[in-house]
Amino acid sequence: MVLSRTQRLLRAFAAWAVVMLFVFPIYYWVTLSIKLDREIFSIPPKVFSFETSAKSYEEVFGISLGFEEGLAVLPGGGDFYMTPRLWDSIVIAVCSTVLAIVIATLAAYALSRMRFRGQHHFVFWILSTRMMPPVAVAIPMFFIYRDFGLLDTYQGVILIHALMNMPLAVLLLKSFFDDIPKEIDEAALIDGASRFLIFRKLVLPMAVGGIAATAVLCFIFSWTEFLFVLTLTQTGLKTVPVVSSTFVTSTGTAWGNMAALGTAAILPAFVFILLVQKNLVRGLTLGSVKQ
Protein backbone atom coordinates (compact mmCIF):
# COMPACT_ATOMS: atom_id res chain seq x y z
CA MET A 1 0.00 0.00 0.00
CA VAL A 2 1.39 3.36 -1.01
CA LEU A 3 0.57 6.20 1.35
CA SER A 4 0.63 9.85 0.49
CA ARG A 5 2.78 12.22 2.54
CA THR A 6 -0.25 13.47 4.44
CA GLN A 7 -1.37 9.95 5.24
CA ARG A 8 2.09 9.05 6.47
CA LEU A 9 2.23 12.12 8.70
CA LEU A 10 -1.25 11.44 9.99
CA ARG A 11 -0.32 7.86 10.80
CA ALA A 12 2.84 8.89 12.62
CA PHE A 13 0.90 11.50 14.55
CA ALA A 14 -1.77 9.00 15.56
CA ALA A 15 0.88 6.50 16.69
CA TRP A 16 2.66 9.11 18.78
CA ALA A 17 -0.60 10.33 20.27
CA VAL A 18 -1.45 6.82 21.47
CA VAL A 19 2.04 6.31 22.89
CA MET A 20 1.87 9.63 24.71
CA LEU A 21 -1.52 8.79 26.13
CA PHE A 22 -0.10 5.64 27.70
CA VAL A 23 3.23 7.07 28.78
CA PHE A 24 1.87 10.25 30.34
CA PRO A 25 0.61 8.76 33.64
CA ILE A 26 3.99 7.11 34.18
CA TYR A 27 5.77 10.36 33.35
CA TYR A 28 3.55 12.28 35.74
CA TRP A 29 4.13 9.69 38.47
CA VAL A 30 7.88 9.99 38.01
CA THR A 31 7.71 13.81 38.22
CA LEU A 32 5.80 13.50 41.50
CA SER A 33 8.76 11.67 42.99
CA ILE A 34 11.12 14.54 42.23
CA LYS A 35 8.79 17.42 43.04
CA LEU A 36 8.63 19.30 46.28
CA ASP A 37 5.57 18.56 48.37
CA ARG A 38 4.03 21.96 47.78
CA GLU A 39 4.27 21.57 44.03
CA ILE A 40 2.57 18.19 43.91
CA PHE A 41 -0.85 19.72 44.37
CA SER A 42 -0.30 23.05 42.64
CA ILE A 43 -3.15 24.12 40.39
CA PRO A 44 -2.70 24.20 37.46
CA PRO A 45 -0.45 21.10 37.66
CA LYS A 46 3.18 21.71 36.86
CA VAL A 47 3.86 19.13 34.21
CA PHE A 48 7.15 20.24 32.70
CA SER A 49 8.66 23.05 34.72
CA PHE A 50 9.05 22.61 38.45
CA GLU A 51 11.70 22.66 41.10
CA THR A 52 13.34 19.23 41.45
CA SER A 53 14.39 17.58 44.67
CA ALA A 54 15.75 14.18 45.68
CA LYS A 55 14.11 14.49 49.07
CA SER A 56 11.48 11.81 48.48
CA TYR A 57 14.11 9.26 47.44
CA GLU A 58 16.34 10.09 50.35
CA GLU A 59 13.50 9.61 52.79
CA VAL A 60 12.24 6.42 51.24
CA PHE A 61 15.58 4.68 50.97
CA GLY A 62 17.24 6.26 53.98
CA ILE A 63 20.21 7.37 51.99
CA SER A 64 21.65 10.78 51.41
CA LEU A 65 22.08 11.64 47.77
CA GLY A 66 24.17 14.66 48.73
CA PHE A 67 21.56 17.29 47.97
CA GLU A 68 20.26 17.88 51.48
CA GLU A 69 21.42 16.97 54.94
CA GLY A 70 19.60 14.65 57.33
CA LEU A 71 16.29 12.89 57.18
CA ALA A 72 12.86 14.22 57.82
CA VAL A 73 10.24 12.46 59.90
CA LEU A 74 7.12 12.00 57.89
CA PRO A 75 3.53 12.10 59.10
CA GLY A 76 2.59 8.78 60.65
CA GLY A 77 6.21 8.02 61.42
CA GLY A 78 7.42 4.40 61.19
CA ASP A 79 9.98 2.60 59.07
CA PHE A 80 10.58 4.28 55.77
CA TYR A 81 13.86 2.63 54.92
CA MET A 82 12.52 0.81 51.93
CA THR A 83 15.63 -0.68 50.36
CA PRO A 84 15.12 -4.09 52.05
CA ARG A 85 11.50 -4.06 50.86
CA LEU A 86 12.67 -3.66 47.28
CA TRP A 87 15.00 -6.59 47.88
CA ASP A 88 12.08 -8.65 49.27
CA SER A 89 10.11 -7.91 46.13
CA ILE A 90 12.97 -8.94 43.85
CA VAL A 91 13.66 -12.21 45.70
CA ILE A 92 9.99 -13.16 45.75
CA ALA A 93 9.27 -12.21 42.15
CA VAL A 94 12.37 -13.93 40.73
CA CYS A 95 12.07 -17.08 42.83
CA SER A 96 8.33 -17.51 42.33
CA THR A 97 8.75 -16.96 38.58
CA VAL A 98 11.54 -19.53 38.33
CA LEU A 99 9.57 -22.05 40.39
CA ALA A 100 6.37 -21.54 38.41
CA ILE A 101 8.18 -21.73 35.07
CA VAL A 102 10.16 -24.87 35.89
CA ILE A 103 7.11 -26.79 37.04
CA ALA A 104 4.77 -25.35 34.43
CA THR A 105 7.16 -26.11 31.55
CA LEU A 106 7.38 -29.77 32.52
CA ALA A 107 3.64 -30.02 33.10
CA ALA A 108 2.80 -28.22 29.88
CA TYR A 109 5.10 -30.46 27.84
CA ALA A 110 3.51 -33.56 29.33
CA LEU A 111 0.01 -32.21 28.69
CA SER A 112 0.94 -31.27 25.15
CA ARG A 113 2.55 -34.58 24.21
CA MET A 114 1.17 -37.37 26.34
CA ARG A 115 -2.34 -38.72 26.48
CA PHE A 116 -4.03 -39.99 29.57
CA ARG A 117 -7.54 -40.72 30.74
CA GLY A 118 -9.50 -37.62 31.69
CA GLN A 119 -6.93 -35.25 30.24
CA HIS A 120 -9.47 -32.65 29.21
CA HIS A 121 -10.92 -32.62 32.70
CA PHE A 122 -7.45 -32.27 34.14
CA VAL A 123 -6.67 -29.25 31.96
CA PHE A 124 -10.00 -27.71 32.87
CA TRP A 125 -9.33 -28.33 36.55
CA ILE A 126 -6.01 -26.49 36.24
CA LEU A 127 -7.79 -23.54 34.72
CA SER A 128 -10.62 -23.67 37.24
CA THR A 129 -8.21 -23.07 40.11
CA ARG A 130 -7.94 -19.52 38.81
CA MET A 131 -11.67 -19.00 38.81
CA MET A 132 -11.96 -18.57 42.56
CA PRO A 133 -11.33 -14.98 43.62
CA PRO A 134 -8.16 -14.71 45.74
CA VAL A 135 -10.14 -12.92 48.44
CA ALA A 136 -12.10 -16.11 49.00
CA VAL A 137 -8.98 -18.13 49.79
CA ALA A 138 -6.96 -15.48 51.61
CA ILE A 139 -8.36 -16.26 55.09
CA PRO A 140 -8.18 -20.08 54.80
CA MET A 141 -4.67 -19.66 53.41
CA PHE A 142 -3.74 -17.62 56.45
CA PHE A 143 -4.73 -20.47 58.78
CA ILE A 144 -3.01 -23.08 56.64
CA TYR A 145 0.16 -20.98 56.54
CA ARG A 146 0.02 -20.41 60.29
CA ASP A 147 -0.23 -24.13 60.97
CA PHE A 148 2.59 -24.96 58.57
CA GLY A 149 4.79 -22.20 59.90
CA LEU A 150 4.93 -20.46 56.53
CA LEU A 151 3.59 -17.11 57.70
CA ASP A 152 5.95 -14.21 57.18
CA THR A 153 8.54 -16.28 55.30
CA TYR A 154 10.04 -15.96 51.83
CA GLN A 155 9.15 -19.59 51.11
CA GLY A 156 5.53 -18.95 51.93
CA VAL A 157 5.11 -15.96 49.64
CA ILE A 158 7.17 -17.53 46.86
CA LEU A 159 4.98 -20.63 47.08
CA ILE A 160 1.67 -18.80 46.92
CA HIS A 161 2.82 -16.60 44.03
CA ALA A 162 4.13 -19.59 42.10
CA LEU A 163 0.85 -21.36 42.82
CA MET A 164 -1.19 -18.45 41.58
CA ASN A 165 0.86 -18.25 38.40
CA MET A 166 1.01 -21.94 37.64
CA PRO A 167 -2.39 -22.44 35.95
CA LEU A 168 -1.93 -19.61 33.51
CA ALA A 169 1.70 -20.57 32.89
CA VAL A 170 0.78 -24.20 32.22
CA LEU A 171 -1.95 -23.31 29.77
CA LEU A 172 0.13 -20.68 28.00
CA LEU A 173 3.14 -22.92 27.69
CA LYS A 174 0.98 -25.82 26.58
CA SER A 175 -0.21 -23.76 23.64
CA PHE A 176 3.40 -22.90 22.80
CA PHE A 177 4.37 -26.57 22.94
CA ASP A 178 1.31 -27.48 20.87
CA ASP A 179 2.70 -25.19 18.17
CA ILE A 180 5.89 -27.23 17.99
CA PRO A 181 5.20 -30.09 15.58
CA LYS A 182 4.95 -33.38 17.40
CA GLU A 183 6.68 -35.09 14.48
CA ILE A 184 9.92 -33.65 15.88
CA ASP A 185 9.37 -35.63 19.07
CA GLU A 186 8.42 -38.69 17.08
CA ALA A 187 11.46 -38.46 14.82
CA ALA A 188 13.66 -38.16 17.89
CA LEU A 189 11.91 -41.08 19.61
CA ILE A 190 12.68 -43.27 16.61
CA ASP A 191 16.21 -41.88 16.57
CA GLY A 192 16.56 -43.28 20.06
CA ALA A 193 16.25 -40.27 22.33
CA SER A 194 14.47 -40.46 25.68
CA ARG A 195 11.50 -38.22 26.43
CA PHE A 196 13.54 -36.05 28.74
CA LEU A 197 16.37 -35.67 26.23
CA ILE A 198 13.86 -34.64 23.56
CA PHE A 199 12.39 -32.13 25.96
CA ARG A 200 15.71 -30.68 27.02
CA LYS A 201 17.65 -30.73 23.78
CA LEU A 202 15.02 -30.20 21.08
CA VAL A 203 11.73 -28.87 22.39
CA LEU A 204 12.92 -26.50 25.10
CA PRO A 205 15.20 -24.45 22.82
CA MET A 206 12.29 -24.03 20.42
CA ALA A 207 9.97 -22.85 23.19
CA VAL A 208 12.33 -20.20 24.56
CA GLY A 209 10.18 -17.38 23.17
CA GLY A 210 7.06 -18.73 24.82
CA ILE A 211 8.83 -19.38 28.09
CA ALA A 212 10.19 -15.83 28.12
CA ALA A 213 6.75 -14.37 27.49
CA THR A 214 5.23 -16.50 30.23
CA ALA A 215 8.04 -15.58 32.63
CA VAL A 216 7.39 -11.89 32.05
CA LEU A 217 3.72 -12.37 32.93
CA CYS A 218 4.56 -14.38 36.06
CA PHE A 219 7.11 -11.81 37.16
CA ILE A 220 4.74 -8.90 36.72
CA PHE A 221 2.00 -10.73 38.61
CA SER A 222 4.28 -11.41 41.55
CA TRP A 223 5.76 -7.92 41.42
CA THR A 224 2.36 -6.30 41.70
CA GLU A 225 0.52 -8.84 43.87
CA PHE A 226 -1.02 -7.21 46.95
CA LEU A 227 -3.57 -9.34 48.76
CA PHE A 228 -1.56 -12.44 49.67
CA VAL A 229 1.51 -10.52 50.70
CA LEU A 230 -0.71 -8.38 52.90
CA THR A 231 -2.39 -11.33 54.61
CA LEU A 232 0.47 -13.82 54.75
CA THR A 233 3.26 -11.56 56.00
CA GLN A 234 3.61 -9.54 59.16
CA THR A 235 6.91 -7.85 59.91
CA GLY A 236 9.52 -10.17 58.45
CA LEU A 237 9.06 -9.11 54.86
CA LYS A 238 6.85 -6.96 52.70
CA THR A 239 6.79 -6.36 49.00
CA VAL A 240 6.62 -2.96 47.36
CA PRO A 241 2.86 -2.83 46.64
CA VAL A 242 1.99 -3.58 50.25
CA VAL A 243 4.59 -1.28 51.70
CA SER A 244 3.64 1.62 49.47
CA SER A 245 0.13 1.44 50.94
CA THR A 246 1.66 2.37 54.28
CA PHE A 247 2.31 5.84 52.93
CA VAL A 248 -1.41 6.41 53.22
CA THR A 249 -1.79 7.31 56.87
CA SER A 250 -4.42 8.77 59.16
CA THR A 251 -2.73 12.14 59.01
CA GLY A 252 -2.16 12.34 55.28
CA THR A 253 -0.71 10.65 52.23
CA ALA A 254 2.96 11.01 51.45
CA TRP A 255 2.56 11.29 47.68
CA GLY A 256 6.16 12.16 46.98
CA ASN A 257 7.44 9.15 48.90
CA MET A 258 4.94 6.83 47.33
CA ALA A 259 5.91 8.04 43.87
CA ALA A 260 9.60 7.64 44.68
CA LEU A 261 9.10 4.02 45.78
CA GLY A 262 6.88 3.36 42.82
CA THR A 263 9.40 4.78 40.40
CA ALA A 264 12.19 2.77 41.98
CA ALA A 265 9.99 -0.31 41.72
CA ILE A 266 9.61 0.12 37.98
CA LEU A 267 13.35 -0.38 37.48
CA PRO A 268 13.88 -4.03 38.49
CA ALA A 269 10.80 -5.10 36.52
CA PHE A 270 12.07 -3.10 33.59
CA VAL A 271 15.51 -4.74 33.78
CA PHE A 272 13.97 -8.21 34.03
CA ILE A 273 11.76 -7.66 31.03
CA LEU A 274 14.67 -6.18 29.11
CA LEU A 275 16.71 -9.31 29.83
CA VAL A 276 14.11 -11.76 28.59
CA GLN A 277 12.64 -9.69 25.79
CA LYS A 278 15.35 -10.63 23.31
CA ASN A 279 13.90 -14.11 23.48
CA LEU A 280 10.43 -12.86 22.79
CA VAL A 281 10.61 -13.79 19.17
CA ARG A 282 8.49 -16.30 17.41
CA GLY A 283 9.60 -18.21 14.41
CA LEU A 284 12.20 -20.33 16.14
CA THR A 285 10.66 -23.42 14.62
CA LEU A 286 11.23 -21.98 11.17
CA GLY A 287 12.78 -24.47 8.81
CA SER A 288 12.02 -27.49 10.90
CA VAL A 289 8.89 -28.55 9.16
CA LYS A 290 7.10 -27.39 6.07
CA GLN A 291 4.18 -25.30 7.21
The residues binding another protein (CB under 8 A) are 181, 183-184, 186-194, 197, 202, 205-206, 284-291
CB of 274 to another protein, least distance (A): 24
Considering the complex, state which of residue 79 and residue 183 has its C-beta at the smaller distance from another protein: 183
CB of 7 or CB of 194, closer to another protein: 194
Q: Which is nearer to another protein, 34 or 188 (CB)?
A: 188
Element (H, E) at 15: helix 5-33
Q: Rounded to 5 degrees, what angle do the CA atoms 161, 163, 164 make? A: 65
Query: In one letter, which amino acid is 157?
Result: V
At its nearest, how many Å lie between another protein and the CB of residue 197? 6
Distance CA(174)–CA(54), nearest Å, equals 47
For residue 208, give the nearest of 171, 180, 246 by alpha carbon: 180
For residue 168, the one-letter residue type is L
Q: In one letter, which amino acid is 241?
A: P
Q: How far apart are alpha carbons 288 and 206 in whole angstroms?
A: 10
Instruction: Give the Cα separation of 156 and 238 in Å (integer).
Output: 12
Task: Compute the least distance from the CB of residue 103 to another protein, in Å.
Answer: 23
Taking a C-beta distance cutoff of 8 angstroms, is the pair 58, 67 a contact? yes
Half-sphere exposure in the Cβ direction for 279 (13 Å, CA): 17
Contact 235, 88 (CB under 8 A): no
Q: Minimum distance between the CB of residue 175 and another protein, rounded to whole angstroms? A: 18
Burial class, 92, CB count within 10 angstroms (exposed 0-12 / middle 13-18 / buried 19+): buried
Cβ closest to another protein, residue 126 vs residue 203: 203
CB of 118 to another protein, least distance (A): 14
Query: Which is closer to another protein, CB of 77 or CB of 192?
Result: 192
Q: Compare residues 18 and 289 and give the one whose CB is closer to another protein.
A: 289
Considering the complex, what minimum distance in angstroms separates the CB of residue 187 from another protein?
4
